[in-house]
Structures are given as structure tokens and as C-alpha cells.
Amino acid sequence: MEWLLIPFEVSFVQRALVAGVLVSAVCAVVGTWVVLRGMAFIGDAMSHGMLPGVAIASLTGVNLLIGAAISAGVMALGVTALGRSRRLSEDTTIGLLFVGMLASGVIIVSHSRSFAVDLTGFLFGDVLAVGSGDLVGLAVTLLVVGVVALVGHRSFTALTFDVRKAHTLGLRPRLANAVLLGLVTLTIVASFRVVGTLLVFGLLIAPAAAALFWSRRITTIMLIAALLGIAATVGGLLVSWHWGTAAGATIAAGAVLLFFLSAFLSFVRQRFRSLTPEIECSR
């Protein structure tokens, strides 16, 4: 049992655990809507679209979160504005913005050799370097996301399952979609410090997708997703400590592994249920 407890006796691992729990909760709430709405591509594009802002912020000495927020905001506004065009599909506009922002970031990075280390942290995160200030930021993010999700629950639900009904009920689906996109942006910006932009996508999608195998109630899906994210965090930190792997990547890999495990167990459960009537009839 000591090997389970020893890592969490260290202060920076304790902070990493708290950060992982907070990120898991935030990603569970927002990720549920992302999965139900089919917004995975948007989430991926948003995570990569922050690169130009982070690159400029690093080169100018500005806080990286500020650069990430500005860049992600530009990306979100671009998706919203171009999404109104009837000549282009949504995935086309997202793809164009995604490539444009990512290319701009790489061009900026290519002019600074000293940015290599910061770029690695941006892409893959450094959960073990999380400070108390980061924890406060994540806590505030969780509070904001929780309040907005609670207030907009009805609008988000109507937007997800029946846009026409949302119009009929006066729930303003365009505004709801913009707010939801804002939540995705906020989640990615707040979480990239912990697991990086390439890996936050895993925590955003995998736990919520895994939870869909076990429930159809939105609130229950969020709860299960949060628990799975926390399990991935604890397991990832343990593996990282004992095997010397990258903590952020291990946490994200754990979340994806839990998804495949959930899919397998769900298949076994359905298979067992389908065989049960045949067994009873044979008696």
C-alpha cells in the first residue's frame, strides 16, 4: 500500500492531484456537451488555435494565459462569424481557421530557438509544476463553468437535441451555441497549463464519451465523467511517479484507456443481457 501513498506525500504531487481533480470536473461538464453536440473537431481546433497567442506572449514576456485567451477568443469569434455563411460548411470554416492559426503559431515559433522549451510545455503541459495561483484559477474556472452550465442547461439541451424546438421556445440557440463555444474556450485555456493543448483534448472527450455507455441522463453523464477523469488523474500520477513517464501525457492516456475499457465492459454487458433470455428459455 505504501507505493499508493508515497507519491502523494510530496507537495508538488499533491498540487498536481488537486489540479487534476479540478480539470477533470471542468472537462466533465463541458466535455459532456462537446460529445453530445458533436463538437470534437471544434475542441481540437480551439486547443491548437491558441499557439499564436502563447508564442507571442512568450516572446514579449506577457503571461501565457493572457496570450492563450486572446488567441482562443479570436478563434472562437472566427468560428462564430464564418459559421453564419451558408456557402461554407461548419467543418470547412473550422478547418481553415485551425490550419491558419496553427501555421501562424509555427511561423512565430520558428523565429525563436529559445521558445522550444516553452513550446513543449504548451503542447504537453507540466502538471507537476502547477502552483497555488494555477489552482485558484482552475477553481474560479470550475465555478464559472458550473454556474453557466446550470443557468444555460435548458438552452443547451434544446440546442443539442432539437434546434427547431429551441427556436419555438425562444431559447435563442445561436446565443446558446456561442456561450457553449465560450465554455469550451475557457476550459481549454484554463487547462492547458496542466496537461497541454495536445492532451487537454483527451480529458475533454474521453471521460464524457466513456460515461455515455452507462447513462443517458446528462447530469449523470457529467458525474461519471468527472469520476473517470479523477481516476485517470490518480492513476496517471502514480504511473508517472513510479515509471518516470510524463505526467500530463500519462493522465490523458489513462483517460483514453478508461474509454476503451468502458466500451468493452458495455459490450460484455449487452452481450450478457442478450444471452440471458436464451438461457432462461433453455431451462
How far does CA 33 lie from the centroid of its chain? 11
Residue with cell 512565430: 108
Residue with cell 490550419: 99
Please tell me what DSSP assigns to residue 106. H
Say which CATH number the domain at 80 has: 1.10.3470.10
Give domain status of residue 119, yes or no.
Answer: no
Is 173 within 8 Å of 155 (Cβ atoms)? yes
Q: Which is nearest to 250 in space by CA: 129, 144, 165, 124?
A: 124
Give domain status of residue 283, yes or no.
Answer: no
> What's the pTM value of the predicted model, to 2 decimals?
0.86
Residue with cell 513543449: 120
Percentage helix, strand, coil for the chain under 3-state DSSP, each rounded to 5: 85, 0, 15
pLDDT in tens, the chain (283 residues): 677 788 888 898 999 999 999 999 999 999 999 999 888 778 777 877 788 888 788 778 787 778 888 888 888 888 777 767 667 677 788 888 888 888 887 787 777 655 554 566 666 677 888 888 889 989 999 999 999 999 999 889 988 887 777 777 777 888 888 899 889 888 988 887 777 776 788 889 999 999 999 998 999 999 999 999 999 999 999 999 989 888 888 898 999 999 999 999 999 988 888 776 655 555 5
Give domain status of residue 189, yes or no.
Answer: yes
Give domain status of residue 262, yes or no.
Answer: yes
Give domain status of residue 77, yes or no.
Answer: yes
Helix (H) or strand (E) segment spanning residue 166: helix 163-168
Give domain status of residue 126, yes or no.
Answer: no
Q: Which is nearest to 49 in space by CA: 95, 109, 1?
A: 95
Domain interval for residue 30: 1-113+132-272
Give domain status of residue 185, yes or no.
Answer: yes
- What is the rounded distance in angstroms from the CA atom of residue 28 to the CA atom of residue 220? 10
Give domain status of residue 62, yes or no.
Answer: yes
* Number of domains into which the chain is organized: 1
